[in-house]
Each structure stands twice: as structure tokens, then as C-alpha cells.
Amino acid sequence: MKNNYIITFLSLTLFISCDPIVNEFPDSEEAIFYTADNINSVPAVDTITVMTWNIRFGAARSHWFGDACGDRVILPESEVTANLLAVADYLASVDPDILFLQEIDVESKRTGYVDQVQWLLDNTNFNYGAYASAWQSQFIPSDGLGRMNMGNAVLSKWEITDATRHQLSLRGDQDALTQLFYLRRNILETKIDMDGTTFYAVNTHATAFATDDTKQKHIQEFKDVLDRIEGEGVSFIAGGDLNSLPVGSDSIDYCLEDICSDETFHPEGYDLNVFDTGDNPSHKEGSWFAGDDFEVLRILYETYSPAVDTVLYQANEAQYFTHTPEYDNLDGFNRKLDYLWTNENWVTGSDITHWDAAALSDHLPVSARWEVGQ
């Protein structure tokens, strides 16, 4: 009889639900819903302000090791919440109705385990949120990163009735072990009910560092989701950090602008259009937009309405830059990576690239007024 008890106990302990070390995601699954501590009812309106912002997990312009030639990895919680407070203050000044967030942490050691989605909901005018993780691991045994949960979020003043996480293609240029602990980027598709008016809000963050055709796949997969919504005859707003340049950009190679002190690129006789990987890569990952990535966004420009069209952009590129590799220079923005799209109409001239938020991230927020579709 005693042995039976023991066997039963053993069986129970074995079947206790334990989370995997690394979270791998299905092709499509429900995203995670959030609500603010206090819900403030917001009436339906004819035009809404939509914003996209890569908030760099609340690290502001810190010299983080992963993207700023820096040496910082684990930020103190106090620094993170101070940065988030500055983000919240800025959001209060702009007062967007729908917000696409990229690089937002919900349970990461590097940011003091602050659930930034909940924190921003509780400290802004938004009422509802949805989150889709792009990097979820109980422990990343590299560079002291430890526990990681970073992803995309949609914040809304109106109720999010559906939220789906669509898995994007994994990078094809990594070994199996690196890929196991690496990002699994996604498209976060949400359905919003504004007092009976339903529309989709779609957010994504495409690959930055892939050297193969992963970026093309991501843009195509993003467009596939938008095409499906368009096929349903429903309006959408979409956006995110696409890590791609606008069609017609003057420069497509930022290797030397982004170079760290211990790096060398562009060896003698290098080919601008060929990414020669290896021990001495010809280009810097994430800084090279030539080859197959050249004008990868053309399929979106040709199908949907951007908040900033190519005519406007090409007339004054610098006005629309949204990303900087210079972490000590608030004026160092030198490329546009962040976009808003719709299958309806933006209010003409309503787009803003928010240069006054330069101190809060290495990306500037972009906003525009959207004529609510039916």
C-alpha cells in the first residue's frame, strides 16, 4: 500500500506542468490580453491617432551591449521605470488612440522583470492591450541575459476583442543552438471594437540582422496577413519596425555609420550587393539593405497606403528618419525603419515623426491620423 502511494506521488510530480526552457510557438495562436487597472470609457470617433514606436525595452539611449557598441546588459529596475515614465509622459502629450509597440519587455531580467505592457497601460490613457512574445526563454546562457520575454504589443483605448500571434519565419542563417535561444518574431493581429465599429490593428517587428532572405519572407508574411484582412473587406491600420528602408532611399549601406571600435567592414574589393559572411564579413548585420533586401517594401507601397508616401519621403528624407545608431547624439537619426499602413485613408499631412522623443529610444515614434474605415 505504501508503495502505491509513492508511485502515485511520483506520477503526479512528473505530470506537473513545467514551462519549457525556450518557448517555441505554433504558426498561429491567441495572443495575451491585458487590461488597465482603471478603464476609462472612450466614445467612438471619426478619426483616430495611430502611433508606432520601438521603445527599446525602456532602455532609452543606454549603451546596451546588443545594439549600441556598449557594455551594459542588466539595467536597474529604477532606471527602467524612470525611462518608462518618460515614455508615458510623452504618450500623454501626444495622446494616441492606438499604439503599436515593439521591443517591449514583460518579464526580462535585463529590465528588472517589469511588465512594461501592464505598466504602460496603468500609466497612460490606454485601456486594453495585447502582447505577443518574440523572444521568450527561461534562461539565455549568453552575455548574462538570463530570463527574457520581449515582444510586440498593441495598446488601445477601445476593447480588443481578438488578438492573434502569427509566427514569422525563423532566421535561416544561424546554427541550431543559436537559433534555439534566438528571437521568434511575430505579427500581432488585433481586432478592435470601437462602439460597434470593428477594425484590425496589426503590429510587427521584422528581422534586423538576418543575412539571408528572412527579411523578404517577413515582409511578405506581413503583407499576407494584411491581404487576408483586405479580402475580408475589413479596414485595418498596420505598422511597426520593419527594419527596411523606404523605396528610393539615398543610402542603403550603413556599415561604417554603425561600426563599433573593434569591428572592420568593407574590405578591399568588397561588393556592395553581396553580403560576404564569414570570419571577416564584408558588411555589418543589420546595417546593410542592399542585395535582395533592396526595396523589399515595394510590395507594401504598391498595395496599401503609407502614412508617409515615397514622394514625401524622397523630397526630404532626413525629416522622416526614425532610427539612430548614435547613442550619445540626439540628432543622429539617419534612416527610416518605422512605418504605418492602412487599406483606408490617412488624414492628409497628419503624419508626424516625433523628433522631440529622441532621448527616449533609438527609434522615433511615428504617428498619423486615420479616417476610421467601416
Partner 1 sequence: MKKLLILGFLFSLVSAQHLSQNWSEGTAYVLPQGRWEVGLFQPLKFGYSPSTEITVHPLVMFIMPNASIKHVWRRQSNATWSSVHSAYYPTPLLNMVAKEGTGGLVSPEFEFPAAILLYNEVRVSRPINDKVLMTGKTGLGLGKAFGDLDERTTIDFPLIYQRLSPLYNGAYLRIGADFVISIAKKWELHLDDDLFLMANKDATIGFEHKGLLVWKKSDRFRATVGYKVVFGQYPFGNQWNLMPPFIPLLPIWVPLFDFQWGW
Binding-site ranges for partner 1 (CB under 8 A): 2-3, 6, 10, 13-14, 16-22, 24, 65, 71-74, 76, 107, 109, 113, 138-139, 141-147, 176-177, 180
Could you give the C-alpha distances from 74 to 5, 77, 79, 362, in angstroms and in order? 46, 9, 10, 18
Measured from the CB atom, the residue of 71 and 328 that comes closer to partner 1 is: 71
The whole-angstrom separation of Cα 263 and Cα 268 is 15
Measured from the CB atom, the residue of 139 and 359 that comes closer to partner 1 is: 139
Q: Tell me the closest approach of the beta carbon of residue 4 to partner 1, in angstroms.
A: 13
Measured from the CB atom, the residue of 45 and 180 that comes closer to partner 1 is: 180
Q: Tell me the closest approach of the beta carbon of residue 8 to partner 1, in angstroms.
A: 13
Q: Tell me the closest approach of the beta carbon of residue 206 to partner 1, in angstroms.
A: 24
- State the DSSP code for 275: -
The whole-angstrom separation of Cα 83 and Cα 361 is 9
Measured from the CB atom, the residue of 79 and 230 that comes closer to partner 1 is: 79
Measured from the CB atom, the residue of 2 and 250 that comes closer to partner 1 is: 2
Q: Tell me the closest approach of the beta carbon of residue 171 to partner 1, in angstroms.
A: 16
Task: Point out which residues pair with 249 in neighbouring strands.
Answer: none
**Please, what sign has the CA dihedral across residues 299, 347, 231, 30?**
positive
Q: Tell me the closest approach of the beta carbon of residue 73 to partner 1, in angstroms.
A: 4
Of 336, 349, 262, 342, the residue nearest 306 (C-alpha): 342
Measured from the CB atom, the residue of 177 and 311 that comes closer to partner 1 is: 177
Bridge-based pairing of strands 345-346 and 338-342 is unpaired
Bridge-based pairing of strands 197-205 and 352-353 is unpaired
Q: Tell me the closest approach of the beta carbon of residue 330 to partner 1, in angstroms.
A: 24
**Please, what sign has the CA dihedral across residues 53, 57, 63, 65?**
negative
Measured from the CB atom, the residue of 54 and 149 that comes closer to partner 1 is: 149
The whole-angstrom separation of Cα 174 and Cα 176 is 6
Q: Tell me the closest approach of the beta carbon of residue 103 to partner 1, in angstroms.
A: 19
Contacts 24+ apart (CB under 8 A), 351-354: 351/307, 351/308, 351/312, 353/308, 353/319, 353/320, 353/321, 353/322, 354/90, 354/94
The whole-angstrom separation of Cα 141 and Cα 138 is 10
Q: Tell me the closest approach of the beta carbon of residue 3 to partner 1, in angstroms.
A: 8
- Decide: 128 and 163 in contact? Cβ < 8 Å: no
